[in-house]
């Protein structure tokens, strides 16, 4: 029986392993990390610094992080589901974690 992966997005249980993967991704992707958490343009102007800001939406960073963090699951069905739903549900899970 075929399962529509887009219709059956899984619930993500964020745990210590996910957090560790997130930190590892941030450490390994310094430029993306800096763009994602950069100071505001006003702050950098006041400090006479050059801003390192993300161009466009931060969603592209959340997609990269979600894939890195969640595609380590041992269950192939989970990995397939994540690939099918990455831009909707799983990027939001990463964004929510970072926003806490």
pLDDT digits (tens, 9 = 90+) for 72-93: 877 787 778 877 776 667 788 7
Higher pLDDT, 82 or 53: 82
Position with higher pLDDT, 39 vs 77: 77
**Highest mean pLDDT, choosing among 7-11, 20-24, 43-47, 81-85:** 20-24
pLDDT given at position 28: 95
Residue entry with tokens 């979600």: 66
pTM exceeds 0.75: no
Domain ranges (residues) in the chain: 13-99
CA atoms within 13 A on the CB side of 61: 20
């Amino acid at each position: 029986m075929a399962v529509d992966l887009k219709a059956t997005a899984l619930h993500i249980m964020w745990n210590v392993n996910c957090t560790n993967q997130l930190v590892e991704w941030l450490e390994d992707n310094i430029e993306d990390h800096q763009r994602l958490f950069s100071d505001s343009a006003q702050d950098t102007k006041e400090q006479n610094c050059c801003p390192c800001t993300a161009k466009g939406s931060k969603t592209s960073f959340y997609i990269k992080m979600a894939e890195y963090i969640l595609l380590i699951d041992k269950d192939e069905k989970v990995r397939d589901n994540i690939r099918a739903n990455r831009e909707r549900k799983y990027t939001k899970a990463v964004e929510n974690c970072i926003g806490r």
